[in-house]
Structure 1
Amino acid sequence: MRTDAALDLRRILFYAGGLVAIYMLGVGVIIATHTQNHPQVGVLVIMFAPMAGALLARFAGPGVIRWGRFSWWMIAGLIPVVTVFVAYAIGSRIGVGVANYGVLGRALILSPIVIFISSLAAVGEESGWRGFLWPLMRQRWSFLVSALVIGAVWWTYHAPLIILGWYGSLAGLPAFTVAIAGVTLFTGVLADRSRAVWPSVIAHGAWNALVATGFAVAGNASLVAFTGSTFWIGEFGWLAAIASLATGALATWWHLSRPMPELATARTPNRAERTPIGSHSPTAPTIALKP
């Protein structure tokens, strides 16, 4: 019952309903507490909107949240942060940023703690994006189509906060869009390969803890390792965007050129066997993931 493809539309509707409800609650918190200039509490509520949708779909769908197991793929979740660090370091060498390596050392020493704390909040998003929605999409669609759908939904989720000035900057939206595309591709690879949500949680948590802060010491805005124009530095800057897209594209190329054994040997159903989302055919087939 929990994997019956005929119930997928029902699951998606419950998911969307739960997500929108908690999202609007977060917006209400920001407005009601008059904290538009410091909307952290409301934004934190919004971060758990995808989890709320996933849990509602899990029990009312009924559906599945693919939590998976801890594995070495969690370490791979740190790769986007490493590539952004390299981009920032190069940027400081060519004059588009300033590096304070003394501060960086302190930031890196504290980074495991900061990433862990940030990952606790990232579970709120990733349980919905990569835990629930990604596996549901991958049962039917190719990797790239699934990434396009998830990326568009994820971008739409952030866009109102950016436009209203509660998160990031509107001027940085083009760069942020590119960064979202790269992270979506990379976390899609992590989700496919690990069959778990935890590597994506680490990737998301590390990004928020280090990239979004310019590698600040425990999030302290006065102790930032990489500074400079927001056009280049920060998660709304082009250095992070370019590094993210390059990382996601390379990971995707590697993933698609080396199919996983169970995917390479699985029979791909023909067109007649495919069941569109929302179909109520009692004999809907189980569709293997496609590379």
Structure 2
Amino acid sequence: MSEISVINKRVDPAHDARRLVLFFGGLIGFYVAVILIAKPEWGGGEGELNKFALGIMLAPTVGAVLATVFGPGVIRFGKPTWWIAAGFLPALAALVVTFAASAAGLVEIHGGKLGGVLLLMVPLSVVASLSALGEEVGWRGFLWPLMRRRSSFVASSAVMWAIWFLYHAPLTVAGLYGTVGGLPAFGVAILGFVLFVGVITERSRSIWPSVIAHGSWNA
């Protein structure tokens, strides 16, 4: 069998249903297994979540690997380019919003600590990107290219938004990640993030800008 035919088999739409079953089966199975093993204290907040967050974040990668091996399918990593710099825009936007809120008297910025925060922003984003990679391999490395072969950018973004919301919502309902009252605002926030990351993934043809963006957001 030629190399070209192997590649074509890995992107053949006829196998997409099987790939999706394997992807979501692996993701959900690993997600649930991590929670059952961790046995978190419900309502324990993000301090409790941090004890097993890395396992949760690896769940999309587990699903992607299963789908790639047994689908068969493809995980598209792509090459690092200058588009990686765009991944820091969410952190920069958050900083601008904070300054604007301070100027409006809504929040107080402690000048003595600001320099340290700015100095740590980039290295903290890079470190957080290591764990974000566990999600992005599944979301933007596997699932996004599969959906874009079949659907428009808007339709693919809508599906990704719904999946991402459902991925986080159980942790919120369990009192481990944010608050239930904050779910509508969280939904709006991730909609903007999904659209932004979709654009930089399309432009760069790689997952690396989304990894940095996800990491800088988490940081």
TM-score (norm 1): 0.69
Structure (1 or 2) with the greater helix fraction: 2
Contact 2:76/2:142, CA 8 A, preserved across alignment: yes
For 2:176, the aligned partner's letter is W
The alpha-carbon deviation at position 183 of structure 1 amounts to 0.3
Q: What code does the residue aligned with 1:175 have?
A: A
Q: Name the residue aligned to 1:7.
A: 15
Structure 1 residues without counterparts, runs of 5 or longer: 210-291
The answer to whether residue 47 in structure 2 is matched with residue 26 in structure 1 is no
> How does 1:126-205 map onto structure 2 within 5 Å?
126-205=136-215
Distance in 1 of aligned mates of 2:174 and 2:95: 29
- Output the CA distance in 2 between the equivalents of 1:26 and 1:8: 27
Task: Tell me how far apart the structure 1 counterparts of residues 123 and 198 of structure 2 sit (CA, whole Å).
Answer: 25
Whether contact under 8 Å (1:151, 1:181) holds in the other structure is yes
- 1:35 Cα deviation (Å)? 7.7
Q: Count residues with an aligned counterpart.
A: 208
Larger radius of gyration: 1
> Greater relative contact order: 1 or 2 (C-alpha under 8 angstroms, separation 6 or more)?
2
Distance verdict in 2 for CA 1:163–1:34, change over 3 Å: closer
Partner Cα separation in structure 2 for residue 34 and residue 176 of structure 1: 23
- Give the Å deviation of 1:101: 3.1
CA contact (8 A) 1:138 1:146 kept: yes
User: Structure 1 residue aligned with 2:104, among 94, 97, 101?
Assistant: 94
Contact 1:30 1:39 in 2 (8 A): no
Quote the residue 2:55 is aligned against: 45
Query: Aligned equivalents of 2:41 and 2:179: distance in 1?
Result: 19
Percent identity over the alignment is 47
Deviation of the 1:34 alpha carbon: 4.5
For residues 176 and 141 of structure 2, the distance between their equivalents in structure 1, rounded to whole angstroms, comes to: 26
Q: Pick closer, same or farther for the CA change 1:54–1:23 going to 2, 3 Å.
A: same
Q: Name the structure 2 match of 1:114.
A: 124
| Residue-by-residue CA offset, 1:191-214 (whole Å, 9 max, x unaligned) | 1111100100000000100xxxxx
Question: In structure 1, what is the equivalent of residue 218 of structure 2?
Answer: 208
Task: State how far apart, in whole Å, the 1-side matches of 2:126 and 2:208 are.
Answer: 12
Q: Deviations over 1:15-56 (max 9, x none)?
A: 00110011102221332x658622212222111101110111
Cα deviation for residue 104 of structure 1 reads 2.1
Q: 8 Å contact 1:30–1:36 — kept in the other structure?
A: no
**Cα deviation, residue 135, structure 1:** 0.6
Unaligned 5+ runs, structure 2: 1-8
